[in-house]
Homo-oligomer: A and B are copies of this chain.
Amino acid sequence: MGSYLALIYGVIIIAALVIIGLIKFIFAQDKGDEKMQQISDAIKEGAMAFLNRQYKTIALLALIVAIIIIVANYYGHLSEGTGTALSFAWRIGFAFITGALCSALSGYIGMYIAVNSNVRVAAGAKSGLNRALQIALKGGAVTGLAVTALSLFGVATLFLAYGGLSGLSGQEALIKEAPSLLVGFGFGASFVALFAQLGGGIYTKAADVGADLVGKVEAGIPEDDPRNPAVIADLVGDNVGDCAGRGADLFESTAAENIGAMILGVGLYPVFGWRGILFPLVAGAIGIISSIIGIYFVNTKDESKDPMIALNKGYFVTTIVNLIALFFAVKIMLSGHLPDGSEVNYWLLYGAVVTGVVLSYIFVFLTDYYTSVNKRPVQEIAKASTTGAATNIITGISVGMESTALPVIFISAAIFIAYKLGELALPHIGTSGLYGTAIATMGMLSTTAYILAMDTFGPITDNAGGITEMSGAPESVRHVTDRLDACGNTTKALTKGYAVGSAALATFLLFSAYLDEVKKILGKPIDSWFAVDIGKPEVFIGAFIGAMIVYLFSSTAIRAVGRAAQYVILEVRRQFREIPGIMEGTAKPDYAKTVDIVTKGALKEMVIPGLIVVVTPILVGVILGKEAAAAFLMIGTISGVILALFLNNGGGAWDNAKKFIELGNYGGKKSEAHKAGVVGDTVGDPFKDTAGPSLHVLIKLISTITLVFVALFR
């Protein structure tokens, strides 16, 4: 047992050392000329200012929620005695705060490195593609490793502190209770993730839309032009939306999934003992090591090759190392004797791991199909643009809706296969099927650190492109950053597919964890079935509200972008009017003022959609009861996954349809088709960068929130 803990903490220490090494490597790079540094400093300042202010707002909200959690759980558990209730309430509240802090910290680290890497990538591009690629990916890797290592550290340490350590030394009851206490950690993480993603998503698109509408359309200056007062805000937005947002999102995914799988491991205690509960943590540690190995495999000797090939090589290496290491982990940890005395067939459980890994590849492939310029859907939208903006929009919506079908079928198949493998491996044990799906989810999430590195690569290269553009670097340097930027757009789209896929797979797990918790409260054995009767009106209503809430949330999130963009538009217009010489390049616009205004706007606008998501599940549970909350949870989750697929893929397809036209098709830039393409791209922006990614977090938040408040439900 000690060796497993040594492994877990050893990996955490290795990750920390690698992170320090990467940071040293990045800071040792050339910072570029003075002009580049000036721009980079402005971005850095804006991004950090936003993050600081955002965290203040979130901290205030989190504090209120923490108090509510503690009070609610105290009264909810009073029947078990004052002492137990108090201890329970404090522990779950403390877990919430820890989760929130860890999530915030991982967002902070990722952002800090990203805004320091961007200028170095721009400078590195002078020495060629490979150098720039290395810096950008290593910058991204800091986020990937920080997020996953912090998640592992938080979950493992809380588990040990909440009885896991005594449990491992033989006190069976304690180890069985510990995982349930961790849900507070998951809720804290998802709470911060929701607001981080929402605020960041609103910021990035408000700045983008505002900069484009006044800069490109009204003033007629190109993108990333230093005369545009919103140009720095736009570059800041790339960081706070894609970088901090997605980091918090996947921090939450890995934490929630680990906790959910550990809770299920409790049900298998008779077969695997504490090994079944510890397995998820070991799997997480393996994923970190594999990702580190994968990251060091990324390099491109042939400068003319697509950098995507190098990134894919790293992903492939990570997957292979993972598959091998997880096999041994399954073989060693998930072996044991069934109640009838026969051996557990670990090959079946390993099959579930493979199912998850295959699903992650399928999701990446499907996202690529629906959003790539080389494929039918995007080209169909581009063709429809020739008859105007209306047909572009209609086709884009149709493509987005269509793109929900295959992912749902493959998720369904994966859940079914993993469930049946779990049942076959552990027959006649209540939660064995669910444990199968949990293992599949671990397989899918084992590459998270690498995926996140690729994802953060996106905003870093995007920023690097902006910096070279604004600093007037030579054409050859811009060519390098342009290629990396195009590659970053692809990785961002793919990781969004990965994020929603893993969220979808994890939902079934989290939903089942909720049912388990309800059983425990009702005093039913954990391996009994708790059926939700959808013939009852309360349950039907809970389901109805669950399906509706994702629309209401998306509506408010999309509208928030529009409103925040208005602030930007007014400010940019004001600067053009009041500061003479901006357009002639003789006077500098007041970038900081614009950054400040988007910051205030985004933070103000994130509160309403965020509160809708936090308050509704509690209201449903308190007013309509536990079963209604279960239906709310299930239908909200399912509808959320599908709406997120629609928004992400539709938005991505519109984006690339415009790019496809810009490549010279249907008349190229400045054609009528291109104008229609720009409309589609603008519509898609809040879809794919604000509402869609926030829905991933919403899905997991409603799971953890119902778990934390279940004691209050009727």
Residues of A within 8 A of B (CB): 213, 217, 384, 387-391, 393-395, 397-402, 404-405, 408-409, 411-412, 415-416, 419-420, 433, 437, 508, 511-512, 515, 529-535, 537-538, 540-541, 543-545, 547-548, 551-552, 554-556, 558-559, 561-562, 569, 630-631, 634-635, 638-639, 641-642, 646, 678-679, 682-683, 686
Contact in complex: A397, B558 (CB < 8 Å): yes
Collect the chain B residues with CB atoms within 8 Å of residue A548's CB.
404-405, 408-409, 642
Contacting pair B416 A547 (CB below 8 A): no
> Which of B405, B540, B552, B634 is close to A404, meaning CB atoms less than 8 Å apart?
B552
Taking CB as reference atom, which chain B residue is nearest A560?
B398
Inter-subunit contact B635/A390 (CB<8 Å): no
Report the minimal beta-carbon distance from A1 to chain B, rounded to whole angstroms: 32
Known: A515-B535, A635-B543, A642-B551. A393 touches B394 (CB 8 A): no
Are B535's CB and A401's CB within 8 A? no
Q: Provided the pairs A415-B540, A638-B543 are in contact, do residues A398 and B682 lie with their beta carbons within 8 angstroms?
A: no
Q: Which residue of B lies closest to A569 (CB)?
A: B387
Would B394 and A638 count as touching, CB distance under 8 A? Answer: no
Nearest-Cβ distance from residue A306 to partner chain B, whole angstroms? 31
Q: Kindly report which residue of chain B lies nearest to residue A433, judged by CB atoms.
A: B537
Contacts of A401 in B (CB 8 A): 551-552, 554-555, 558
CB nearest neighbor in B for A634: B534
Contacts of A217 in B (CB 8 A): 388
Q: Are B530 and A532 within 8 A (Cβ)?
A: no
- How far, in Å, is A409 (CB) from chain B's closest CB? 8
Give the complex CA separation of A433 and B541 in angstroms. 14
A530 touches B535 (CB 8 A): yes
Task: Check B544–A638 contact: CB distance below 8 A.
Answer: yes
Give the most central of A400, A530, A531, A686: most B CB within 10 Å: A531
* Known interface pairs A213-B387, A388-B217, A397-B558; A415-B533 also in contact (CB < 8 Å): no
A529 and B532 alpha carbons, distance in the complex (Å): 11
Which listed residue (B541, B555, B639) contacts A402, Cβ 8 A? B555
CA distance A230 to B405 in the complex (A): 35
- Minimum CB–CB distance for A522 against chain B, Å: 14
A-B contact pairs, 29 of them (CB 8 A): A387-B569, A394-B562, A395-B559, A395-B562, A398-B558, A401-B552, A401-B555, A402-B551, A402-B556, A404-B552, A408-B544, A408-B547, A408-B548, A412-B545, A437-B537, A511-B535, A511-B540, A529-B533, A530-B535, A531-B531, A531-B534, A532-B533, A534-B534, A534-B634, A543-B635, A544-B641, A547-B547, A547-B639, A548-B642
| Nearest-neighbor residue (CB-CB) of A630 within chain B | B534
Q: How far is the CA of A682 from the CA of B532 in the complex (A)?
A: 43
- Chain B residues within 8 Å of A551, by CB: 401-402, 404-405, 642, 646
Whether A535 pairs with B531 at a CB distance below 8 angstroms is: yes
User: CA of A390 to CA of B394 in the docked complex: distance in angstroms?
Assistant: 13
In whole Å, how far is A203's beta carbon from the nearest beta carbon of chain B?
Answer: 17
Closest residue of B by beta carbon distance from A402? B555
Instruction: Give the distance to chain B from A654, nearest Cβ to Cβ, in Å.
Output: 10
Tell me which residues across on chain B come within 8 A of A561, comparing CB atoms.
Answer: 394
Shortest distance between the CB of A528 and any CB in chain B (Å): 10
Instruction: Specify which of A420, A538, A634 lies most central, judged by the most chain B CB atoms within 10 Å of its CB.
Output: A634
Sorted from nearest, which 3 A-B pairs have the closest CB atoms? A401-B555, A390-B682, A531-B531
- The answer to whether B552 touches A405 (Cβ under 8 A) is yes
Q: A388: which B residues are within 8 A, CB to CB?
A: 213, 217, 679
- Is there an interface contact between A398 and B638, defined as CB atoms closer than 8 Å? no
A405 / chain B contacts, CB cutoff of 8 Å = 548, 551-552
B-chain residues with CB within 8 Å of residue A641 when the two chains form the complex: 544
A412-B545, A415-B540, A551-B642 known; A558-B394 Cβ under 8 A: yes
Q: Give the CA-CA distance A400 to B559 in the complex, in Å.
A: 11
> How many Å from the CB of A156 to the closest CB on chain B?
28
Q: Tell me the minimal C-beta distance from A54 to chain B in angstroms.
A: 23
Contact A543:B683 (CB < 8 A) given known A408-B548, A535-B512, A548-B408? no
In whole angstroms, what is the CA distance A412 to B409 when docked? Answer: 30
Is B415 touching A541 in the complex (CB atoms < 8 A)? Answer: yes
Choose one: B384, B404, B437, B545; the contact of A562 (CB below 8 Å): B384
Q: Decide: A419 near B634, CB < 8 A? Known: A401-B554, A544-B411, A562-B398.
A: no
Complex Cα distance A530/B634, Å? 19
**Residues A547 and B638 in contact in the complex (CB < 8 Å), given A552-B405, A558-B394:** yes
A637 to chain B, nearest CB (A): 9
Residues of B within 8 A of A397 (CB): 555, 558, 683
Whether B631 pairs with A534 at a CB distance below 8 angstroms is yes
Shortest CB distance A410–B (Å): 11
Residues on B with C-beta less than 8 A from A638 are 543-544, 547, 635
- Interfacial chain B residues near A555, Cβ < 8 Å: 397-402
Given contacts A533-B529, A562-B384, whether A541 and B416 have CB atoms under 8 Å apart is: yes
Residues of chain B within 8 A (CB-CB) of A408 are 544-545, 547-548
Contact A686 B552 (CB under 8 A): no
In this complex, the member of A384, A389, A398, A535 whose beta carbon has the largest number of chain B beta carbons within 10 angstroms is: A535
> Whole-angstrom distance between the alpha carbons of A562 and B405 in the complex?
20
* Bound-complex Cα distance A412 to B632 (A): 13
Q: Which residues from B are CB-within-8-Å of A508?
A: 537, 540
Residue contact A391 to B562, C-beta cutoff 8 Å: yes
The answer to whether B535 touches A529, judged by C-beta atoms less than 8 angstroms apart, is yes
Residues of B with C-beta under 8 A to A538: 416
The chain B residue with its CB closest to the CB of A401 is: B555
Instruction: Say how far A520's CB is from chain B's closest CB, in angstroms.
Output: 14
A497 to B564, CA, bound (A): 32
Residues of B within 8 A of A409 (CB): 545, 548
A292 smallest CB distance to B (angstroms): 34
A412-B544, A544-B641, A547-B638 given. 13 additional CB < 8 A pairs? A389-B389, A389-B679, A390-B678, A390-B679, A391-B562, A394-B558, A400-B555, A402-B556, A405-B551, A412-B541, A531-B533, A532-B534, A534-B631
- Closest B residue by C-beta to A514: B535
